[in-house]
Amino acid sequence: MTRLKETVVLVTGASAGIGRACAEAFAAEGASLLLAARRLDRLQTLAGDLASRFGTKTHVFALDVRDRAGVDAAFEALPDPWKTVDILVNNAGLGRGLDKLQEGRVEEWEEMIDTNVKGLLYVTRKVVPGMVARGRGHVINIGSLAGREVYPGGNVYCASKFAVKALTRALKMDLLGTPIRVSTVDPGMVETDFSVVRFRGDQEKAAKVYQGLKALTAEDIADAVVWVSTRPPHVDVTEMVILPVAQASATLAHRKG
Ligand code: NDP
Ligand code: 8X3
């Protein structure tokens, strides 16, 4: 399908997981892609793959969303045809640890808040004024079930995703009167590198998160993101929660075996 031909989509955190799957799903719809993450080599490989599979036009750039000056410089340096972002997918994010707050690591709190909240703000601030000026655009944040329910040890990660929900609702209000759409897509358990990152590289511990149940895939979320972005222009799917069938809440999952 080519529903998104002539559409420029920026995906942050496109080097893995949900962001990467979004890049593929938007490429399959004929979109042109701006792909950003810290691991530039992965983005380059992905761009080559999408060019050969879908003929996708892609511009990749290294971006650490926590680095405000770096975000400013990266956007200033974009070649002209890539300055007009139509769809922004604010996906870059992470959880670190599941420690009790009173035992938490302050540097990990900062990493989560700087990435999930401040990074999302920095990128949004660079992109949205152009959308308003052109009268066209859609901001899609990847929130989380963790932005709707707190769970033990989720403290700062949950707070960061509650902030994403608040910012989604706030941006929706601030853009009222413009044609710009604002959405949050909030998944429950998705099997990606998320838990490997959360448990600081402990693969065994990460695998246990998804043991005995069929978790969502990154592609499931990408499918929803593309769906949200392809509704008629007057329709704004503001909030979407997606859980595996085997998950009923942040703390309630049904596991076999
Ligand atoms: P992955 O770890 O697989 O991917 C995370 C992506 O974010 C990577 O591409 C990484 O790229 C990028 N990223 C992390 N930090 C930065 C940074 N400072 N600057 C730029 N990019 C960064 O995890 P997921 O795909 O699962 O996570 C994507 C989003 O989905 C996150 O916001 C997460 O909170 C959310 N989410 C995940 C769920 C899950 O169960 N997996 C459920 C609900 C929400 P690189 O390292 O190359 O910079
Ligand atoms: C990531 C999923 O359940 O660990 O947002 O909060 S969860």
Asked whether residue 255 is domain-assigned, the answer is no
Span 162-199, pLDDT tens digits: 999 999 999 999 999 999 999 999 999 999 999 999 99
**C-alpha 99 – ligand 1 centre gap (Å):** 20
CA dist 151 → 35, 55, 99, 200 (Å): 32, 43, 11, 19
Nearest residue CA, atom 32 of ligand 1?
93
Residues with CB under 6 A from ligand 1: 12-13, 15-19, 37-39, 63-66, 91-94, 115, 119, 142, 144, 187, 189-190, 192-194, 197, 218
Query: Does residue 112 sit within a domain?
Result: yes
- Number of domains comprising the chain: 1
User: Given this model, what pLDDT does residue 257 score?
Assistant: 76
Is 34 part of any domain? yes
For the stretch 20-70, pLDDT in tens is: 999 999 999 999 999 999 999 999 999 999 999 999 999 999 999 999 999
- pLDDT of 1 > 80? The answer is no
Taking all residues of the chain, what is their mean pLDDT, rounded to a whole number?
Answer: 98
- Report the C-alpha gap between 26 and 8 in whole angstroms: 10
Which residues, 6+ apart, have CB-to-CB distance to 39 below 8 Å?
15, 16
Residue 99 sits in a domain whose CATH number is: 3.40.50.720
Tokens (6 digits) for 181: 């759409």
| Number of the ligand 1 atom closest to the C-alpha atom of 14 | 9
Residue 205 lies in a domain: yes
Q: Is residue 155 part of a domain?
A: yes
**What is the DSSP annotation of 31-92?**
-EEEEEES-HHHHHHHHHHHHHHH---EEEEE--TT-HHHHHHHHHTS-GGGS--SEEEE--
Q: Which domain holds residue 73?
A: 8-242
Instruction: Decide if 139 is inside a domain.
Output: yes
Contact between 189 and 253 under an 8 Å Cβ cutoff? The reply is yes
Catalytic positions, written as ranges: 157
Give the chain's end-to-end CA distance (angstroms, integer): 41
Cα 54 to Cα 44, 45, 57, 119, 224, distances in angstroms: 15, 14, 9, 30, 20
pLDDT band at 123 (very low <50, low <70, confident <90, very high): very high
Answer yes or no: is 250 within a domain: no
Q: What is the DSSP string of 95-127?
A: ------GGG--HHHHHHHIIIIIIIHHHHHHHH
Of all residues in the chain, the percent with pLDDT exceeding 70 is 100
Q: Please identify, by atom number, the ligand 2 atom nearest to the C-alpha of residue 161.
A: 5
- pTM for this one? 0.98
Asked if residue 2 has pLDDT above 90, the reply is no
74's CB contacts (< 8 A; 6+ apart) are 36, 61, 62, 63
Is residue 114, in this structure, part of any structural domain at all?
yes
